[in-house]
Chain A
């Protein structure tokens, strides 16, 4: 990382944070601090929703996922546009007419106070932990690749984010998110362009896609139904739909973005904008991962992208010889793979079936050799670095950026990852503070003045920020970062979504029935997670339906006992 990279990184972050703080200082009441006086326009809401969901994990894990597993992860987002339509049609008008600050506030008007506090508490636990993970994930990868101190990285991202969110509240989050999205999209386009540019002279973009396709990486849609398979069309349209409904319809970090809308129209358009943009955006991020895969078909990748783990083995007298042997094998296989891919491209250009079959056969041999090498590497890691993460896919994108990108662009792409980290965590922090104050504190002290509530909101922002930093610093290493956040979300989202579905669509059910249904439903979900190996996406559906069913039974029993 050169001086130019540091200058671009520093200037980008300082401009965004400084501008956001300066533009939005001095809110005097809760409506201004938590909802920006409800003045947001549709494009600002849309960008905010996109930036809140696009965390640093998105840009670190998703390209790695495509590199390893192909593009089938896109199916996870197929339910999202449908969820946007449902939320825009059903939830937005209700939230707007009641002029609520949080989604949970609506539950008191529909049911009762205990249900509101229960839903708010479930959100606080889930989002409090999730926000810590969103800080930890980029810090872990940046520290491993750039050699930064992990604690300092967590404090840097967390400190900047706490600063502007505390000063400017929701408007600061929205104003900074607009610039953060600009940095994110610029970074993506630059990365995609340079990846194609770095391919060998005779390999164009179309050839890159064909090379990826021949190795099963363009597996965008799979219509076969398999409940054990995490990503196929059916799990995306059902599990993905329920996850999106829960996340965008009941998670305050998203609900707060469209509650800040000037009118029902602006909020709806903001959500629909997200519904139109999200799938192509994820396609773009996954395509970067596929292009990375193709790039490393013609250039030798390292044995593992997780540099500190390699260093750990290389400096061990016991394991260094085994590592050297694996690296020699790896170099031989990589050279054979490059030759096989060059043959494949020539065969595709010549349109010669015999040459194509020959190239494919050679590729199959090298892929089998790579698989054997990976197994041996994992066995070595288990012995030599047992606490290290065996999967290195989260490190692939930034490793490429640092090794191959020109100076200046490296600074821009690190700024992209940090911007994404701050944009999603700041929205989470803002929502945690809002829920703490509106759904917990104001209920306990209803008679204080607005300035007092704004001051408490600022302190709540700092408190949740410091708690998130604390959680990030102590977080254990997890197999795959994006999955850890999604699993955590799915365990709590189902029951919360169930409460809201009952509120919207089951008018005969009252507070007591739904309150106990939510508690029992949540316990059942945790028990199932502990005792079974159901894929995590299904917990959104299971939790939601359990709450609906138990609430209906509870209401019936209450009526019979009367």
Chain B
């Protein structure tokens, strides 16, 4: 269409009324002339003859409008106004349609946004497709030293590792096939300090070419570019955008400032962009987020003073390697080259073990970075995708049903309009316009819903032990996705009814016996609709059943006796060892911090332990009750401060608890729980009994008390045999980090800030880590169960609502359609209750089929979540039966509401209205 055309059309649209008037005048003039001629010819009724000669006046008008070319816009405007009127006439229908579309589109947009961010998005680097992650492996496990490694058996008898030694990495950088080889390694959680303020964070080291090889630039300052770069004598650090925000409040003066990492200074060289969160979106194990990146040669600087010296640049395997492979056909050549480098660089022992075998080299796709986040959220997100996809399908099907029903209810109107000269295309266009209006409204509402849903889902997903440091925004691709879904929905539910409705046999429906044409096309519709409704009920049963099982699992897990009191308890960790504390100064710090915490108003008890309870972590090993030659008894250990048992509320049965005196004493003591007591002595009388940690350790540990059993690392499983030992008497060295447990008086608000102040007063360089209540700590270990329970619960609610909408619509329509028939029945003396029964019997048959189908599917589906369940069987009859009853009651009510209309039908009026 040319621009001038558009202008003419627009002008025409504005002067539409004038054009219409002119056309009218022109045609009127013609008819008058024709009538004059007929009169002259002696016609008795010249006006009528003129009209007859002319043919259909309205058709001619319509054709002229078409020719004028403004009809498209004009008609759209008219269709729009008509649509608004129609939709406003039936607000319930409109609301239901828009709402269910919003649910379908919103849920899909939200989940797709998450899916896109977590599973599909590639790293924001140059040519991400070229990136390759290097791993290696052998036929069996080789013996050498490795740290920060992952891998292991791959289930096929092979063995893989993701780390290399410094020597091998250096050779790889000199290789020619894999380009721009760079290496990195996480430092784990670190103590950071900026401006005298301590912050918990994560750090890693990377080779000097890291940023250049990735093609990542800084938004402020510059990245480091050599393996041991310094600024004014301090190691150069690149900080993340989020850390810049957190520590420097996005101050441009951050460049060159000092950041303390584990108590050692480094200087900020640059700040990376907001998009770049490192080469792993989910960070590394125990380092969910990398705040500071340091040159790789500075690796040994960041170890605590108390830690054993590590030969980072010797034979230790610790460097993860990536590179670029621009030409995938070179893959085999690169693999051979790398394999030769690995063989040459292996220390003696593993090389001997390897023999003549050539190690495997794996070049994994690196475009998305390391995959910790993807692998842990892949399954839940895929399940979510499937569920929301199903929801959208159901909403579309329901809407198609609703619109189809409406289209057939509007059959008379449509026939009338066809007869009055409206073209078939006009009618279809008009129905499509209504559909488009609904889906635009639904899509807009859906986007709004999606925005909230993403925040909600992110909060749900992040509540686990490692939060997701991702920015999920509804980007334009997601918008396009929602748009496509919305268009598809329009196509699905507006076009089909529109085409069907206009295929009505014009004559038969005008003659008033619409019944014939209607029956024909409703018979098909009704069958399909019933099947779809039954399927929806079935899906609802499956989801409600699963949600019930998961909820009961959560209730069971939360209701488990813990053996200690988790209420009114705040936990946090400190790691002075990283900042260079040795045993003497460290123990002093632990003691002083305990005193400071006790001074906080509202605190009623303070203690600490090597492992906080229900964290997923334990210390365990063997003890020797009968001396070096005796049997070894397996036990869990927790190395604790004074009063730990009392503060945690683990009841003492015999003997005495661990006290402050034990901490400073060289007399080795332990308190054991009942399970360990039974293992140590068949009679259970273990007070005064001695055991040794190791066969070569000659010092005895005396059991001075027995406590009741308590949970240790997790909720599931038996309460483990546990020994509580003063932390100062830990057999394998001083504990470099401890977890504090602060008991708080009822209703007393003790803030995290008060705790942070107490820690800062002891050492301002020491950050408070993992501050949370004991109950939140327990909840975190249930994150997967909770996530599934809430998501499935949410969607079971949604599907139930959708199924109810479907049933409501179907029954309402059926009552409207059968008003005449019901009127006859009532006139012939049928009681309204009996008619209601008749209607309900038909609906209940559909619901019953759905329930049966759902139960059968649930039987299979709940086995999938079987491993997550606790204290309830996958086929628990109470849960599945309860779900059936709940779905039955709710859907029956949804069907009953519109069916009640039969009580309001007056036989006489019903008969008259046909």
Q: Are A and B interaction partners?
A: no
**Residue ranges of B at the interface with A (Cβ–Cβ < 8 Å):** none
